[in-house]
A and B are shown apart, each in its own frame.
Chain A
Amino acid sequence: MKITYNWLKDFVNLKASPQELAEKLTMAGLEVVALEKVGGDFVLEIEITSNRPDWLSVLGVAREVGAIYGLKLKNPKLKEPKIKPNDLWPIKISVSQKQDCPFYSGRIISDVKVGSSVQWLKERVESLGCRSVNNIVDITNYCLFELGQPLHAFDLDKLGNREIRVRRAHADEKIVTLDGVTRVLGPEILVIADTQKPIALAGIMGGKETEVTAKTRNILLESAVFNPVLIRRAKQKLGLQSESAYRFERGVDWEAASNASLAAQDLILKLASGKPAGFKSLGVTKVTYPVINLDVVYLNKVLGTAITVLKAKQILKSLGLQVQTKTRSILNVKVPSFRQDLKLPVDLVEEVARIYGYAKVPQTLPAVKPGQAVLDKRDLLGSIKNILCGLGLSEAITYSLIDRALLKKSGINADTGIIEILNPLSREQEILRPELFPSLIRILAYNLDQQQEQVSIFEIANIFSGQANAVAEKPLLGIALCGAQGFFTKQGLIKDEISLLHLKGILEVLFSRLGIKNFDFTRQQDNKINIMINQKQAGFMLDLNPQEQAAFDIKNRQVVLAQVDLDKLFGGINLGKKFSDVPKYPPITRDISFVINEGISVQELLVAIEAKGLPLLKQAKIADYYQGKQIPAGSKGLTISCLYRLDSRTLTEAEIVPVHNSICSLLEERFGVQLR
């Protein structure tokens, strides 16, 4: 909202410079976001919070300035003029539902001379960015800006039967508003009508037909209070914002409605001649002022201050509230009609604190009683992120809202349980994602497109699925890898093309680091491997096939993905540690090199060897493998390293020979290997 410095001076004897004023207002909760010199005046643009409709006027801000600087507010009261019975015109006003319009007043001014505004009036309304129309319209706008009460002037002679009816619009009723737009209305919209048709959108905008023009002789000046919710709904439904609607949806001041009508009449008589020819109001005539008891002890308890009763009283009074001391510390505060936001004692605490100055409230530190310091899921997630980071993966954060097209591209055809967004702004926000990995493929493809040779990323985020009456959120870990991982050795650069085994290695390190003992990888399809934790599927690894890659414009690369259900992973975590003795006696290791049919699983082999070698064999592991020209096609070369040891004494060579030989025979007989 904009106001001007000189305009404020009409109400308070302000001495401070515009810059200083801006600073003070900001620190009192009226944030001045711009200060601009316009002609001989300064325009202040203030961000008014939605709880303070009373600040949406020069008078309201002046009241605040008065409180800040301890200045008296000049706000002369106007009196209703006496009209001779002969000059009185009949006024017909009716309000169909009182809750839609608790107060409506109409004032007739006859024989006005519509013309352009005098210079000062024109300058004032234009300084606030409002177009000058004619003296009558400018005066209503002037009063709106000055007093915060929206007013509307109708050309009385264009009203059917010169009558005002405040009612809901009928279905499909139409009106052409002042901006020239034809609007189709409905029963949820409150209108001002004459006997036949709507002539204004109540509280939002007037109609073109009854607008005040150069030919207008007699006017009806409307000043009313409309139901804020009704105005807000209508405004949203019509997509129409106006200075009037902005104030009505926040709530206008009942008393100001009467005062503004008088003030506007006063100006019209002065600047556009005319004669007062009648006034009629419907609805609220008397307002009762709510009373709040503020205990200054409570005030200081909430703020951590030592503000005296006298100081609190003085501040509240400076804001235009009526205050009486009830007991030693309790103030009896009567809330005027322009402060409908004040309801509870704590609201008054804020008022005192604002004017006293937040800066003057001391800074203290509370005694925080710590909650239970248990290692929770969030700590585990932190560990997971750090482990993955240590393995060279970078964390991505992608949107939970995605487009259906992304699912389709990723080969997901699920249609049930998808959560749709009711009011997305674009296609990209149409659903809540039911899977994590599609977002990661997209990020991976993006990075490949940016000429990144190698992409290793992960994300931890929720996915969403619909149930009968609820939406389930499930935390997942997603990993996506692609490209050649280049690293130096003493022999120079080695480029290692990422494969499912790299992904498996990452998961193995992660799982064992988290103390997950029981995990396994089993093939589900050619390019899909199940990740098993405690014999249950906890996720999958996927080697993206060329068609799937093509959907993301990835060409000739190997892309591998993993997705792990974190709740299932948490179920397998065991961070308890148990020490077993470091071996006292040296082991003996024996390697076996052989060629084997490539269809035989290495894991099966190792399990068989370990069973055979008991109890001397402590460990059998792959020491090397080879596939290539030097061995027949369809087979692989393996070296298995067997470690033998006894815990009670040093083993002798002679003791392991029979065991090792039996393992070799097992390999030959059961697995048909060719020892080398």
Chain B
Amino acid sequence: MDINSIQAQIEGDLIKIDSIAGLEEVRVKYLGRKGLLAELTGSIPNLPVEQRGIFGQQVNALKNKLSGLLAEKEGILKTKDSVFKKNNLDIGMPGIARELGHIHPITQIIDEICAIFIRMGFSIVEGPEVETEYNNFTGLNIPLEHPSRDAFDTFYLKNYPKLLLRSHTSPVQVRAMKAQKPPLAIVVPGRVYRPDAVDASHLFMFHQIEGFLVDKNIRFSDLKGILELFAKSVFGQDIKMRFRPHFFPFTEPSVEVDISCIICKGQGCSVCGRKGWLEILGAGMIHPNVFKQVGYNWKVYTGFAFGMGVERIAMLKYGIKDIRLFFENDLRFLKQF
């Protein structure tokens, strides 16, 4: 057997090896005391004198080469073995990490909505929860003794006859407009209070988000455009919208905005009361009387305002049927968000 075919045979043998034990067999076969290379070395004296030198060198070179190949293969097999060991780990075991907490769903909705308006260029402003009767009503063109106030049942405070718990976030309109001149682009999130009997859809405390834009040349069409952008960002691009005339003392024209029911896609279901539509917010062009109260010239400036209940939006978005869950703070509820 010549040197070259032996080398080919060795390489062929090595390829098939996939374990350290198998490699040892190969080593014994070639490099062992009675191995093939020992045999070749042993055959040297039988060769003609002039060939002995060259053949000896070739056998030595093969020996070195083989040692190298074996070492290399051993290295590969050892790594492979340790990989096998890692694969013995049961990946079904629990992962190791500390649990994160959860942000309250109401905060998440408020942040999501505020972020949409911040991207449009609005600023966030907040106001106090204890308000004056003026900011909550009179400044917003809500007469003191009129049925339009029935919609704003209000908690009053003992010993503070002019103060109340704000029944909506709109008083911040009055505050912001008295504090600065147009242009204004403001969004107001916050807690509001109404003495409503508690049931699955009513509570005495809830959250609202108010928004308003005041400048020269702000139009009802702008209100429609902004609200569509907003509603599609929150509820998805494929919703339909409708704008129904309505009445609010602080806006004229006023509108209530419905979206096609996100549960039944407008077919009519229990959530939308078979109507196919869900009311999500009230809005309108800021009433000239409100501008008069804050000292803006209504012939120069126009503006729109809108307001929505955060709990209602969260209930629709997450499919929550009882508003009280938000304030029970059961961890099994909170951890779902």
Contact residues in B for A414 (Cβ distance below 8 Å): none
Assess the B126–A378 pair: CB atoms within 8 A.
yes
Contact residues in B for A232 (Cβ distance below 8 Å): 145-147
Assess the A346–B147 pair: CB atoms within 8 A.
no
Stretch at the interface among B17-25, B36-44, B167-175, B222-230: B222-230
Contact residues in B for A386 (Cβ distance below 8 Å): 103
Contact for B245 among A29, A370, A389, A422, CB less than 8 A: A29
Stretch at the interface among B45-53, B77-85, B190-198: B190-198
| Interface hits, B286-325 → A, CB 8 Å | 287-289, 302
Instruction: Bits for B259-303, please: 1 = Cβ < 8 Å to A, else 0.
Output: 000000000000000000000000001011100000000000010
Check if A238 is an interface residue, CB within 8 A of chain B: no
Known: A361-B220, A366-B215, A376-B124. A395 touches B225 (CB 8 A): no
Q: How far is the CA of A488 from the CA of B253 in the complex (A)?
A: 61
Assess the A346–B287 pair: CB atoms within 8 A.
yes
Known: A346-B285, A349-B252, A421-B157. A398 touches B244 (CB 8 A): no
By CB atoms of chain A within 10 A, which of B120, B151, B155, B332 has the most?
Answer: B155
Check if A587 is an interface residue, CB within 8 A of chain B: no
Assess the A370–B244 pair: CB atoms within 8 A.
no
Contact for A369 among B121, B159, B243, CB less than 8 A: B121
Contact residues in B for A471 (Cβ distance below 8 Å): 130, 157, 160, 163
User: Interface residue count for B (Cβ, 8 Å)?
Assistant: 86
Contact residues in B for A608 (Cβ distance below 8 Å): none
Contact residues in A for B150 (Cβ distance below 8 Å): 50
Assess the B103–A347 pair: CB atoms within 8 A.
no
Assess the A301–B246 pair: CB atoms within 8 A.
no
Check if B183 is an interface residue, CB within 8 A of chain A: yes
Contact for A31 among B103, B244, B249, B328, CB less than 8 A: B244
Assess the A303–B335 pair: CB atoms within 8 A.
no
Assess the A447–B329 pair: CB atoms within 8 A.
yes
Assess the A363–B98 pair: CB atoms within 8 A.
no
Assess the B247–A51 pair: CB atoms within 8 A.
yes
Q: How far is the CA of A378 from the CA of B165 in the complex (A)?
A: 21
Assess the A50–B147 pair: CB atoms within 8 A.
yes
Chain A, interface size category, equals 35 or more
By CB atoms of chain A within 10 A, which of B107, B204, B287, B330 has the most?
Answer: B204
Residue of A nearest to B182 (CB): A369
Q: How far is the CA of A390 from the CA of B213 in the complex (A)?
A: 36
Kindly provide the distance from the CB of A161 to the nearest chain B CB, expressed in whole angstroms: 35
Check if B209 is an interface residue, CB within 8 A of chain A: no
Assess the A361–B121 pair: CB atoms within 8 A.
no
Assess the A419–B157 pair: CB atoms within 8 A.
yes
Assess the A301–B224 pair: CB atoms within 8 A.
no
Q: How far is the CA of A457 from the CA of B104 in the complex (A)?
A: 10
Assess the B334–A303 pair: CB atoms within 8 A.
no
Assess the A447–B331 pair: CB atoms within 8 A.
yes
Known: A51-B247, A400-B205, A462-B129. A350 touches B221 (CB 8 A): no
Q: How far is the CA of A364 from the CA of B205 in the complex (A)?
A: 35
Q: How far is the CA of A446 from the CA of B331 in the complex (A)?
A: 10
Check if B236 is an interface residue, CB within 8 A of chain A: no
Assess the B327–A399 pair: CB atoms within 8 A.
yes
Contact residues in B for A422 (Cβ distance below 8 Å): 155-158
Known: A49-B246, A368-B121. A302 touches B101 (CB 8 A): no
Assess the A390–B195 pair: CB atoms within 8 A.
no
Check if B61 is an interface residue, CB within 8 A of chain A: no
Contact for A29 among B165, B186, B197, B247, CB less than 8 A: B247
Residue of A nearest to B143 (CB): A229
Check if A358 is an interface residue, CB within 8 A of chain B: yes
Q: How far is the CA of A376 from the CA of B256 in the complex (A)?
A: 32
Contact residues in A for B191 (Cβ distance below 8 Å): 400, 461
Residue of B nearest to A382 (CB): B111
Contact for B328 among A28, A446, A466, A470, CB less than 8 A: A446
Check if B201 is an interface residue, CB within 8 A of chain A: no
Kindly provide the distance from the CB of A8 to the nearest chain B CB, expressed in whole angstroms: 19
Contact residues in A for B195 (Cβ distance below 8 Å): 423-425, 429
| Interface hits, B105-158 → A, CB 8 Å | 106-107, 111, 120-124, 126, 128-130, 145-148, 150-151, 155-158
Check if A371 is an interface residue, CB within 8 A of chain B: yes
Kindly provide the distance from the CB of B155 to the nearest chain A CB, expressed in whole angstroms: 5
Check if B217 is an interface residue, CB within 8 A of chain A: yes
Contact for A302 among B111, B245, B302, CB less than 8 A: B302
Known: A346-B287, A392-B100, A422-B156. A450 touches B221 (CB 8 A): no
Contact residues in B for A359 (Cβ distance below 8 Å): 242-243
Known: A301-B302, A466-B159. A443 touches B247 (CB 8 A): no
Assess the B221–A423 pair: CB atoms within 8 A.
no
Instruction: Bits for A269-307, please: 1 = Cβ < 8 Å to B, else 0.
Output: 000000000000000000000000000000001111100
Residue of B nearest to A439 (CB): B329
Check if B91 is an interface residue, CB within 8 A of chain A: no
Assess the B221–A473 pair: CB atoms within 8 A.
no
**What are 26 A-B pairs at a CB distance below 8 A?**
A229-B146, A303-B220, A305-B220, A344-B252, A354-B245, A358-B253, A358-B255, A363-B225, A365-B226, A366-B215, A366-B217, A369-B121, A371-B123, A382-B111, A390-B101, A392-B99, A392-B101, A396-B334, A397-B329, A399-B204, A419-B160, A425-B204, A450-B332, A464-B130, A487-B96, A489-B96
Closest 3 CB pairs of A and B: A304-B221, A29-B245, A304-B219
Using a CB–CB cutoff of 8 Å, the interface residues on chain A facing chain B are 26-29, 31, 49-52, 228-229, 232-233, 249-250, 301-305, 344, 346-347, 349-350, 353-354, 358-359, 361-366, 368-373, 376, 378, 382, 385-386, 388-401, 419-425, 429, 432, 443, 446-447, 450, 452, 455-457, 461-462, 464, 466, 469-471, 473, 487-490
20 further interface pairs, Cβ-Cβ under 8 Å (given A29-B246, A378-B124, A422-B157): A28-B245, A31-B256, A49-B247, A50-B150, A232-B147, A302-B302, A305-B221, A359-B243, A361-B220, A362-B221, A363-B224, A364-B224, A370-B122, A386-B103, A388-B101, A422-B155, A432-B157, A450-B330, A452-B332, A466-B160
